[in-house]
Amino acid sequence: MQRIYLDANATTPVLPEVVDAMRPFLTEAFGNPSSAHLPGQHARSAVEHARGAVAKLLHATPKEIVFTSGGTESDNLALTGILQPYLDSGEPAHLITTQIEHHAVLYAAEALEKRNIEVTYLAPDANGLIDPAAFEAALCPHTRLVSIMLANNETGVIQPIGKLARIAKAHNPALVFHTDAVQAAAKLPLDLSGEFKNVDLLSLSGHKMYAPQGTGVLFVRKGIQLTPLFHGGPHERQRRAGTENVPGIVALGRAAELAATWLNSATLGVPDVPLLGHGNVALQSPEALEDLRDRLEQGLLTAIPHTTVNAANAPRVPNTTSLRFDGIDAEALLIALDMQGIAAGFGAACMSGATEPSHVLLAMGLTAAEARASLRLSLSRFTTANEIDRALEIIPAAVARLRSLS
């Protein structure tokens, strides 16, 4: 059975070029980057090259890039790192976030709330968007931190982060603005010197941008004071203790270089090319990926009655669609599709064992039954037109079969 992978928002394949870049650091180039000898300095040079590549992707400076173990750590470091001094001093502090964040932010916010941080959880509209006017109304004199995701992991909805950050800074220039950009990286341009110049903290995760799992980044704008989560050595400019994961960091740096090229490929006219080791042709532009996503989405809407796209009227990242099949249990559909070779998702991968319906879809106003009937399909650069055609045969048949049994 030839499998079709449509769960890239859970994790992406690792690009062959990324594997090639990290391989030497798993074997002969094993030095500790904190060591003064030549092997250590070789490792240090590789880490700093990767730091520069990530900074270039984000239009930031290398000193503003902190390497972490992934998006969850980056989000926790952002929230707790900013608010810990207020907890220590007892000074009132207010955090604004949303009801549709990844649990890395939501659970961190809830933990801070238990420690007497005041938290406001903004509700989205029916398309999953945060209303800038509602955000502005929630700001108060002791608001110290805002954390709002750039792109949603379940629906793909893109929030107007540039506008929200401008509103926040107009209210109080000292207010710190964080965005979880895990699902936006390598899908959307991220310009921290332009559109996002008012963003102070930004989280990335390597395994959502074609690097291995266990790697991440927190961008920390110059001048932002961050209390570290870990205590130990003076790594990452005393912001994140612990010996650097050199192979993972090198891989993340190479993935950042490839992402920058891919995001610019539409204007460069780069053709689709084969990817060694995968047998598929790489989609060489966001536009090509979006076209393939739309082909899948429209094909399913046409073939399956009583089907709805969640957040259809909102701007979305080019690879993601969240579809509601009325009368279907999405978990049963996911299992049925897996048995026929299609990997899909119905929420955050780290919550896939949960029995509760999606908190994101509930916040958007869906009923529990509607949320449970929703399936997420997320494409990667490896997805092919032939795979989409095959999915358009398998998914409608699976939905019809499940409906006939209900």
pLDDT in tens, 15-71: 999 999 999 999 998 988 878 898 889 999 999 999 999 999 999 999 999 999 999
- Residue listed under structure tokens 């991968």: 349
Give CA–CA dist 337/390, Å, rounded: 12
Alpha-carbon span 178 to 204, nearest angstrom: 12
* 44: Cα separation from own chain's centroid: 27
Mean pLDDT, range 361-385, rounded to an integer:
97
In the residue annotation, 350 being an active-site residue is answered as yes
Phi first, then psi: give them for residue 190, nearest 5 degrees. Answer: -125, 100
Q: Of the ranges 266-270, 343-347, 368-372, 382-386, which one carries the lowest mean pLDDT score?
A: 266-270
Mean pLDDT of 206-229: 96
Token reading at 8: 């890239």
The angle formed by the CA atoms of residues 102, 106 and 111, to the nearest 5 degrees, is 145
Q: Say whether pLDDT at 121 is over 50.
A: yes
**Which residues have a Cβ under 8 Å from the Cβ of 61 and sit 6 or more positions away?**
55, 222
Burial (Cβ within 10 Å: 0-12, 13-18, ≥19) of residue 223: exposed
161-180: burial string, b at 16+ Cβ within 10 Å, e else: bbebbbbbbebeeebbbbbb
pLDDT value of position 346: 81
Residues 2-26: pLDDT tens digits? 899 999 999 999 999 999 999 999 9
pLDDT tens, 124-141? Answer: 999 999 999 999 999 999
Grouping H, G, I as helix, E, B as strand and the rest as coil, residue 151 is strand
Of 350, 354, 368, 369, catalytic: 350
User: Which has the closest alpha carbon to 57: 161, 187, 234, 150?
Assistant: 187
d(CA 299, CA 355) in angstroms, rounded, equals 29
DSSP-derived secondary structure letter, 367: -
The answer on pLDDT for 350 being more than 60 is no
Q: In the chain, pLDDT over 70 holds for what percent of residues?
A: 93
Residue 279: its pLDDT value, please? 47
Q: How confident is the model at residue 280 (pLDDT cuts 50, 70, 90)?
A: low
Q: Is the predicted pLDDT of residue 236 greater than 90, yes or no?
A: no
Q: Which of 399, 328, 322, 396 is nearest to 128 (CA)?
A: 322
Whether the full predicted model's pTM is greater than 0.85, yes or no, is yes
Q: Which of 24, 100, 13 is nearest to 363 (CA)?
A: 100
| pLDDT tens digits for range 294-349 | 999 999 999 999 999 999 999 999 999 999 999 999 999 999 999 999 999 986 54
If you compute the radius of gyration of the chain from its CA atoms, what whole number of angstroms results?
A: 21
Rounded CA separation 360/149 (Å): 12
Does residue 276 have a pLDDT over 60?
no
Q: Is the pLDDT of residue 77 over 70?
A: yes
Q: Is the pLDDT of residue 384 over 70?
A: yes
**Tokens of residue 103, six digits:** 């649990």
CB neighbour class for 302 (10 Å; exposed up to 12, middle 13-18, buried from 19): exposed
Angle between helices 246-263 and 38-58 (to 10 degrees): 30
What are the backbone dihedrals phi and psi of residue 196, each rounded to the nearest 5 degrees, phi first? -110, 35
